[in-house]
Amino acid sequence: AREQQGSDLLSMLCHATDEDGARFDDRDVVNHMIFLLAAAHDTTTGTLTNMVYNLAKHPDWQKRARVRSLEMPHELGYDELAELTELEWILKETTRLCTPIQIEPRVAVADTEVCGYFIPEGSVVVVPTLVNHQRPEIWSHPEEFDPERFGDERAEHKRHRMAWAPFGGGPHKCIGQHFAGLEIKMVLHQLLRSFEWEVPQDYIMPLDMSATPVPKDSLPVTLRRR
């Protein structure tokens, strides 16, 4: 990648320069690639897996999302992806119930106070995203899978600016949020049009939470081509 100028990200990182003409050293390139795989791949595949699981557990929502996808063209453009309303709700509800990143570490840049607790400058603060996603004063029946809570009529996610924050918030909010949403909806759109799937109703997916949430049993599903 150092020797040839390609259009892939690895090549671009190898040849990128700053305003002084300096390039990333090998360690920087490796670290950027590791971050890309973890932040842009694991989180997306984990969310897709959880959406497939939720749609298997809730066949009424799988059918509802499929009806919308069958009304749309096989190949979708940017504007058409925005019309997949049910998939948008399902994506948001899935990431509410199981966030791709469980915590958000931050450093206090100044002395401050949060909920009556003094936080001195320089303190490491960990925001437990999943806890906020389960707060009953914000979410009605927070333990239930209920994508309609994100519809305009209820809009529970707008009750607080950090009520739904699987991609973080503020100036450090994940820049890949909208791209990830488009990518996930494109994949599910094709799955819904071509397949039906199910799991036993008493099945509960066991999660490995050591990094991004992944199923310990590889999520066994019964898949049928339509």
Kindly report, residue by residue over 165-200, the tens digit of the pLDDT: 998 888 778 877 888 899 999 999 999 999 999 999
Q: Are strands 112-114 and 103-107 parallel, antiparallel or unpaired?
A: unpaired
Same-domain pairing of 45 and 15: yes
Residue with tokens 């009520």: 163
If one counts the domains in the chain, the total is 2
Percent of the chain with pLDDT over 70: 98
Give bridge partners of residue 222 from the DSSP assignment: 198
Same-domain pairing of 112 and 186: no
If one compares 158 and 40, the residue with the highest pLDDT of the two is 158
Least confident interval from 5-9, 20-24, 140-144: 5-9
Same-domain pairing of 179 and 85: yes
Q: How confident is the model at residue 207 (pLDDT cuts 50, 70, 90)?
A: very high
Region of 32 (left: φ > 0; alpha: ψ -120 to 50; beta: rest) is alpha
Same-domain pairing of 117 and 183: no
Q: Give the residue numbers spanning the domain of 110.
A: 102-132
Give bridge partners of residue 195 from the DSSP assignment: 225
- What number is the average pLDDT over the span 128-139? 93
Decide if pLDDT at 1 tops 70. Answer: no
- What number is the average pLDDT over the span 63-72? 97
Burial class (CB in 10 A: 0-12, 13-18, 19+), 197: middle
Cα distance between residue 174 and residue 78, in whole Å: 20
- What number is the average pLDDT over the span 112-133? 93
- Examine residue 3 and state whether it is found in any structural domain, yes or no: no
Same-domain pairing of 123 and 178: no
Residue of 89, 46, 66 whose CA lies nearest to 207? 46
- Examine residue 21 and state whether it is found in any structural domain, yes or no: yes
If one compares 145 and 15, the residue with the highest pLDDT of the two is 145
Cα distance between residue 213 and residue 43, in whole Å: 8
Cα distance between residue 130 and residue 101, in whole Å: 9
Cα–Cα distances (Å) from 220 to 50, 198, 202, 209, 223, in that order, read 12, 9, 13, 18, 9
What angle in degrees, to the nearest 10, is found between the helix axes of 177-194 and 43-57?
Answer: 40
If one compares 206 and 42, the residue with the highest pLDDT of the two is 206
Same-domain pairing of 106 and 76: no
The token duo for 123 is: 């303190």
Decide if pLDDT at 68 tops 70. Answer: yes
Same-domain pairing of 91 and 180: yes
Residue with tokens 């909920």: 115
Backbone angles phi, psi at 89, to 5 degrees: -65, -45
Q: What is the pLDDT of residues 10-28, one digit of tens each?
A: 888 888 888 888 888 889 8
pLDDT of residue 38: 67
Which residues lie closer than 8 Å to 65 by C-beta, 6 or more apart? Answer: 55, 84, 86, 87, 90, 188, 192
